[in-house]
């Protein structure tokens, strides 16, 4: 199927579907007519096989207690093996109702109030919440920003770990919002530092499948780094939700290779609740892993084209705006500060450009003047958003 046909078949108007991204614009931004480029989900219907599997399950008409069938494990493990060369074992895997929920549970299980928990900023804002809502000490190490290319400040990471009694590091890999896929070298250094200082690692790998140039920037799970050397001190959280646009089917994974950590996690979870699996989430997830590869390749091609459109338009008309190298995730991060005063960003983006975006300061207070745009959408929205930014910037500069 060519790209135009794919877009025609799968791109959908989401208005009036209780979509947070589109139907809550008035409530969240005070303007229902903005182009929604914020929440990290897509304007594309899920793979046909997923719709079919869920439709069949719904036609059965019974949603009694369920368990995870072997076919789910097979489809997921086969996906991880073929796509990322990662071999998983059934007893390592636990299910959750969302990665953020699991981050909260993991912070509670593996740290005490007051313990230091490290994150690399700017980063997906629920990382801050999971730490601060639980009264742990937030420890941040700022990524180095070289003209929109972000790298880890290893000396600062080591210093922060040493001076703050850090017990846990939550990493984002690939990194939302700066679009990096960490290299094996970077990950090895980072995980070795955590090993040296006895810091447990939670690796949020929900964006693992959004690799835009896998030849040059392949995603490598923290469980695979250095041939699995760090498996005993890493817990991975991931899900089919970002990859296949299934967020509200509330089915996610917690992967814990180490038996002692797993026992602690199970004991902590059992104290709080009995976890039932989400039958539609697992039905959709299994079908997606088994049959969704071709669909995903179309999505990645669209994201690549959307990124190329935005990047080349800004390079031609507003070269002073810094656009991240988009290696992973479908979220592009723009630094507008050369043209727009940071405090005026919101007025510029919303009132002039007509866009609903994620603002930089949501990802770290010192990133006012940056915005994050979601590119996993119908190209018509990216074209309009880009053209609006170029037009409004030109008007601003000519004032
Ligand atoms: C890094 C990261 N983790 C977690 C999530 C959300 O996961 P969930 O919806 O499963 O809680 C997102 C969504 O954007 C994300 O970017």
The enclosing domain of 348 has a CATH number of 3.90.1150.10
Structural domain of residue 160, as residue ranges? 51-291
Ligand 1 atom, smallest distance to 40 CA: 14
Distance 205 CA to ligand 1 centre (A): 9
pLDDT band at 399 (very low <50, low <70, confident <90, very high): confident
3-state helix, strand, coil in the chain (%, to 5): 50, 15, 35
Closest ligand 1 atom to Cα of 241:
10
pLDDT higher than threshold 90 for residue 95:
yes
- Residue 36: φ, ψ to 5°: -85, 110
Domain of 106, CATH number, reads 3.40.640.10
Q: List, for residues 362-373, the tens digit of each pLDDT value.
A: 999 999 999 999
Ligand 1 geometric centre to CA of 99 (Å) = 6
Return the best residue to mutate from 38, 39, 124, 252 for the ligand 1 pocket (most ligand atoms within 8 A of CB): 124
* 297 shares a domain with 253: no
Q: Could you tell me if 185 and 56 lie in one domain?
A: yes
In the reported structure, the alpha carbon of residue 122 is separated from the centroid of ligand 1 by a whole-number distance in angstroms of 15
Residues 265 and 299 both lie in one domain: no
Q: Which of 291, 316, 347 is at the close of a domain? A: 291
Ligand 1 midpoint to CA 108 (Å)? 18
Query: Rg for the chain (alpha carbons), in Å?
Result: 21
| Ligand 1 midpoint to CA 268 (Å) | 22
Rounded Cα gap, residues 294 and 291, in angstroms: 8
CA distance 59 to 179: 40
Our mutation pick for probing the ligand 1 site, out of 172, 176, 375, counting the most ligand atoms within 8 A of Cβ, is 176
By the 10 Å C-beta count (0-12 exposed, 13-18 middle, 19+ buried), 163 is classed as exposed
Residue having the nearest C-alpha atom to atom 13 of ligand 1: 40
- Among 291, 314, 330, where does a domain finish? 291
Are residues 244 and 359 both part of a single domain? Answer: no
Distance between CA atoms of residues 131 and 149, nearest Å: 27
Cα 278 to ligand 1 centre (Å): 17
Categorize the per-residue pLDDT at 142 as very low, low, confident or very high, splitting at 50, 70 and 90. Answer: very high
Which of 276, 291, 306 corresponds to the end of one domain?
291
Which ligand 1 atom minimizes the distance to the CA of 98? 10
Q: Which of 208, 270, 273 is nearest to 244 (CA)?
A: 208
Q: Is the pLDDT of residue 241 over 90?
A: yes
Which of 181, 206, 328 gets mutated to test ligand 1 (max ligand atoms within 8 A of its CB)? Answer: 206
The whole-number pLDDT of residue 155 equals 98
Q: Which residues pair with 189 in a beta bridge?
A: none
394: CA distance to ligand 1 center in Å? 35
How sure is the predictor about 210, in pLDDT bands with cuts at 50, 70 and 90? Answer: very high
Judge if 253 and 209 occupy the same domain.
Answer: yes
Which of 42, 100, 177, 203 to mutate for ligand 1's pocket (most ligand atoms within 8 Å of CB)? 100
pLDDT computed for residue 363 by the predictor: 98
Domain check: are 205 and 226 in the same one? yes
In the three-class reduction of DSSP (H, G, I as helix; E, B as strand; rest coil), residue 26 is classed as helix
CA gap 173, 141 in Å, rounded: 15
Q: How high is the mean pLDDT of the chain?
A: 97
What the block records as the tokens of 92 is 């390592």
Which atom of ligand 1 lies at the shortest distance from residue 172's CA?
Answer: 1
State yes or no: pLDDT of 336 exceeds 80: yes
User: Rounded to an integer, what distance in angstroms lies between the CA atom of residue 176 and that of residue 210?
Assistant: 11
177 and 278 both lie in a single domain: yes
Q: How many CB atoms lie within 10 A of CB 112?
A: 10
215-224, 249-258, 273-282, range with the lowest pLDDT? 273-282
- Compute the distance between CA of residue 203 and CA of residue 175 in angstroms, rounded to an integer: 10
Amino acid 151: pLDDT: 98
For residue 79, the model assigns a pLDDT of: 98
**Coil/strand/helix, residue 43:** coil
Expressed in angstroms and rounded, the spacing between residue 318 Cα and the centre of ligand 1 is 31
Strands 116-121 and 137-142: parallel
Q: Which atom of ligand 1 is nearest to the CA of 101?
A: 11
Indicate the top mutation candidate among 97, 126, 173, 363 to test ligand 1's pocket, ranked by most ligand atoms within 8 A of CB: 126
Which ligand 1 atom minimizes the distance to the CA of 102? 11
d(CA 130, CA 38): 21
* 161 and 236 fall within a common domain: yes
What is the band of 274 on the pLDDT scale with cuts at 50, 70, 90? confident
* Residue 393 CA to ligand 1 centre (angstroms): 31
Same domain, yes or no, for 155 and 204? yes
Identify which of 157, 165, 167, 164 has the alpha carbon closest to the alpha carbon of residue 109.
167
Q: Are strands 144-146 and 234-238 parallel, antiparallel or unpaired?
A: unpaired
Same domain? For 348 and 286 the reply is no
C-alpha 147 to ligand 1 mean position (Å) = 26
Ligand 1 interacting residues, C-beta cut-off 6 A: 40, 98-100, 124, 172, 176, 204, 206, 239, 241, 247, 252
Residue 307 contacts by C-beta under 8 Å, 6 or more apart in sequence? 212, 326, 332, 375
Closest CA to 191 of 199, 121, 176: 199
CA of 61 to the centre of ligand 1 (A): 30
Residues 114 and 223 in one domain: yes
Count of domains for the chain: 2
pLDDT of residue 14: 97
pLDDT bracket for residue 272 (50, 70, 90)? confident
CA distance 364 to 291: 38
For residues 106 and 157, state if they share a domain: yes
Distances (CA, A) of 190 to 12, 194, 198, 226, 270: 41, 6, 12, 12, 32
Task: Give the H or E element holding residue 372.
Answer: strand 370-374
């Amino acid at each position: 199927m060519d790209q135009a046909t794919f877009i025609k078949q799968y791109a959908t108007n989401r208005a009036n579907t209780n979509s947070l991204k589109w139907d809550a614009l008035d409530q969240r931004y005070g303007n229902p007519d903005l182009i929604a480029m914020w929440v990290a989900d897509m304007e594309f219907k899920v793979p046909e096989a997923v719709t079919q599997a869920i439709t069949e399950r719904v036609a059965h008409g019974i949603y009694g207690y369920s368990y995870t069938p072997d076919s789910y494990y097979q489809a997921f493990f086969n996906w991880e093996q073929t796509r990322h060369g990662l071999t998983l074992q059934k007893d390592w895997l636990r299910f959750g109702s969302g990665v953020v929920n699991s981050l909260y549970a993991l912070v509670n299980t593996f740290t005490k109030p007051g313990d230091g928990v490290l994150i690399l900023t700017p980063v997906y804002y629920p990382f801050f919440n999971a730490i601060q809502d639980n009264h742990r000490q937030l420890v941040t190490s700022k990524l180095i920003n070289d003209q929109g290319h972000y790298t880890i400040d290893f000396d600062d990471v080591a210093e922060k770990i040493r001076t703050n009694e850090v017990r846990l590091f939550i990493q984002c890999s690939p990194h939302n919002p700066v679009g990096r896929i960490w290299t094996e070298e970077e990950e090895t250094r980072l995980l070795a530092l955590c090993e040296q200082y006895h810091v447990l690692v939670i690796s949020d790998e929900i964006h693992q499948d959004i690799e835009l140039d896998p030849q040059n920037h392949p995603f490598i799970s923290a469980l695979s780094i250095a041939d699995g050397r760090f498996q005993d001190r890493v817990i991975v959280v991931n899900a089919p939700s970002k990859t296949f646009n299934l967020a509200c089917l509330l089915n996610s994974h917690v992967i814990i290779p180490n038996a002692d950590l797993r026992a602690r996690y199970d004991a902590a979870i059992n104290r709080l609740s009995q976890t039932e699996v989400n039958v539609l989430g697992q039905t959709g997830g299994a079908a997606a892993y088994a049959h969704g590869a071709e669909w995903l390749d179309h999505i990645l091609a669209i994201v690549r084209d959307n990124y190329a459109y935005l990047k080349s338009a800004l390079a031609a008309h507003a070269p002073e705006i810094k656009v991240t190298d988009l290696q992973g995730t479908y979220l592009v991060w723009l630094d507008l500060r050369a043209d727009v005063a940071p405090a005026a960003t919101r007025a510029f983006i919303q009132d002039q450009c007509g866009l609903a975006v994620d603002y930089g300061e949501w990802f770290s207070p010192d990133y006012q003047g940056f915005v994050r745009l979601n590119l996993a959408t119908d190209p018509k929205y990216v074209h309009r958003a880009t053209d609006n930014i170029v037009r409004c910037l030109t008007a601003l500069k000519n004032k």
